[in-house]
Amino acid sequence: MNLTPEETVSIGWKALSTLLVTSGRHTESVSEKGSFVNDPLHRGSTVIYPSVAAMRNTAGQQYEHQTLYGAMGSPNQHELEKVIALIEGGSHSQIVSSGLTACTVPLLAFLSAGDHCLLIDSIYGPTKRFSEKVMKKFGVEISYYPADISVDEIKNYIQPNTKVIFTESPGSHTFEIQDISALSKLAHQHDIKLFLDNTWGIGVFKPFDHGVDVSVQALTKYGNGHSDLVLGAITVNNDADWHILRDTSIALGEVAGPDACWLTLRGLRTLGARLEKQSISALKIAQWCQEQPEIERVLHPALPSCHGHEIWKRDFTGASSVFTIVFKQPITTQQVIDMIEKLKFFSIGASWGGYESLVLLTDGEIYRNFPNKLISGSACRLHIGLENTEDLITDLNYSFIATWRS
């Protein structure tokens, strides 16, 4: 049975929306004289105390989301950490300066010289770049596994010194879904930690229910949702991992500005509503794309043709609104560029998760270690924003007609 877009992506929204609107609001401490709805913005470096004893009493509180010094986090950062831990379903989160830093800090925290890190081939490109340029320099072995193989086959890529498997589901640009529960079982049998870049799955995939050890979020994308900042979050699920992660973050001087944290907390209040509207719209547009004679393939996990679709149906409570369309031969890359440049409502740009629609030519931009079977011809990635769905379809339709149907 084929579900409608509304049915496919509206399963988990209600609980998520309530959580997002009510978490960290401090409604229990509303003043007799009245209080603002939102917490204030706190800017600061030094924290001062009434006595030496009071200052000494803060020893060990770096693990407690307490404000001790500006470079270790502000009240706004710590509030956001609690809300992200709730959304991700873990015990503790560390907010960091960007989504990329959310990928690099745990690599530095959990790997040492002589260890091996196994990454999925479809991992976010700059994570690969950091692994190659920095982790290797410090004596960590790096290798990759293809994004479209089974967990049984992934086993063959594990080495005696493998300490971390870093995966992403769905994969960047090609959207292969991974069986995270089976992968975490395999990892734990070999005493390996499983890292997941869960940016696409924010609010719709609970990493720790599936055995993930470290979950990464680029809050730059859907978390903040307004394309006006960069921010990241790393979430773990036990005290031992939390202490390793927190110690490394502090040692690196890794921190996020209070303004970015405040704005992201505000953005998160509407995440449920944005995801619901944008993902339904995206699936309608993906289905429209699938029917176009020039399109070979649409890479969207909620479509039955996507790699791992059955796992997506089993494990996710919804979808995000970014996906890739692959064009048939003989459509050339130049024609796709011409088509993209005719679009009125899609801005040309990287990133995604904001309120606005975006288009990105992905042909040739994705660096892979294994042959990429999914993007055979020219392709572009679409991010669907909050515009009217029919307007976006009309926009695509007109530029298709003007480019290769006239």
Ligand X SMILES: *Cc1c(COP(=O)(O)O)cnc(C)c1O
Chain residues that interact with ligand X, rule: CB under 6 A:
98-100, 103, 124, 168, 172, 197, 199, 218, 220-221, 230, 232, 351
- Rounded Cα distance, 156 and 247, in Å: 33
- Residue 247's Cβ-side half-sphere holds a number of Cα atoms within 13 Å equal to 9
Per DSSP, the chain holds a count of helices (H) and strands (E) of: 14, 12
Q: Shortest distance, CB of residue 127 to ligand X, whole angstroms?
A: 7
Q: Shortest distance, CB of residue 225 to ligand X, whole angstroms?
A: 13
Task: Rank residues 8 and 104 by Cβ distance to ligand X and give the closer one.
Answer: 104
Task: Rank residues 124 and 145 by Cβ distance to ligand X and give the closer one.
Answer: 124
Closest Cα partner for 178 from 209, 204, 133, 146?
Answer: 146
94, 80 contact by CB (below 8 A): no
Give the DSSP H or E segment for 348: strand 347-348
Q: Shortest distance, CB of residue 123 to ligand X, whole angstroms?
A: 8
- Rounded Cα distance, 384 and 389, in Å: 9
Task: Rank residues 311 and 339 by Cβ distance to ligand X and give the closer one.
Answer: 311
Task: Rank residues 194 and 339 by Cβ distance to ligand X and give the closer one.
Answer: 194
Q: Shortest distance, CB of residue 175 to ligand X, whole angstroms?
A: 11
- Rounded Cα distance, 171 and 177, in Å: 7
69, 46 contact by CB (below 8 A): yes
Q: Shortest distance, CB of residue 351 to ligand X, whole angstroms?
A: 6
Task: Rank residues 94 and 403 by Cβ distance to ligand X and give the closer one.
Answer: 94
Q: Shortest distance, CB of residue 220 to ligand X, whole angstroms?
A: 3
- Rounded Cα distance, 321 and 354, in Å: 10
Q: Shortest distance, CB of residue 218 to ligand X, whole angstroms?
A: 3
Q: Shortest distance, CB of residue 148 to ligand X, whole angstroms?
A: 18
Which residues are paired to 166 by β-bridges?
119, 195
Position closest to ligand X via CB: 99
Q: Shortest distance, CB of residue 267 to ligand X, whole angstroms?
A: 13
**Residues with Cβ within 8 Å of residue 350, at least 6 apart in sequence:** 358, 360
Q: Shortest distance, CB of residue 242 to ligand X, whole angstroms?
A: 21
**Token digits for 80?**
């956001």
Closest Cα partner for 101 from 230, 229, 202?
Answer: 230
Task: Rank residues 17 and 172 by Cβ distance to ligand X and give the closer one.
Answer: 172
- Rounded Cα distance, 215 and 223, in Å: 14
**Residues with Cβ within 8 Å of residue 271, at least 6 apart in sequence:** 16, 20, 202, 203, 222, 223, 225
Task: Rank residues 14 and 129 by Cβ distance to ligand X and give the closer one.
Answer: 129
Task: Rank residues 189 and 369 by Cβ distance to ligand X and give the closer one.
Answer: 369
Sheet of 232-236, strands arranged across: 92-96, 232-236, 214-218, 193-197, 162-168, 116-120, 141-145
Q: Prior bond to 258 cis, omega within 30? A: no
Task: Rank residues 162 and 172 by Cβ distance to ligand X and give the closer one.
Answer: 172
> Which residue do the tokens 């709805």 mark?
37
Task: Rank residues 184 and 224 by Cβ distance to ligand X and give the closer one.
Answer: 224
> Which residue do the tokens 């394309």 mark?
227
